[in-house]
Amino acid sequence: MKRILLTSIFTLVSLNILAESNEMEVHALDADKDGLISMTEAKADNTLSAIFTDLDINQDGFLSHLELGSNAEKKLTKTTI
């Protein structure tokens, strides 16, 4: 009985975490709202397009919210100073 209860709780918590991760904010430059910034979308911001390749850690041609995180802030600060 305890095992079923614990499994149920774990499942509900997991589903809640998944639901929250799907509700992430969409970046203003993400024109197609797919959760990624393409090089074409990044061209709307001169600074971002200039450092796009440096931020694209996995070199897939898109910037994810993780790639746009604090690492982007550091690079933007270096670029603008």
Per residue in 63-74, pLDDT (tens digit) is 988 888 856 666
pLDDT at 18 over 50: no
C-alpha dist (Å) from residue 14 to 1, 17, 35, 38: 20, 5, 21, 30
pTM: 0.61
* 13 to 22, 41, 69: CA distances (angstroms): 15, 35, 26
| 54-69: average pLDDT | 90
Judged against a pLDDT cut of 70, whether residue 4 lies above it is answered with no
Residue 60, classed as helix, strand or coil, is coil
How many whole angstroms from its chain centre is CA 32? 14
Reported CATH class of domain 2-80: mainly alpha
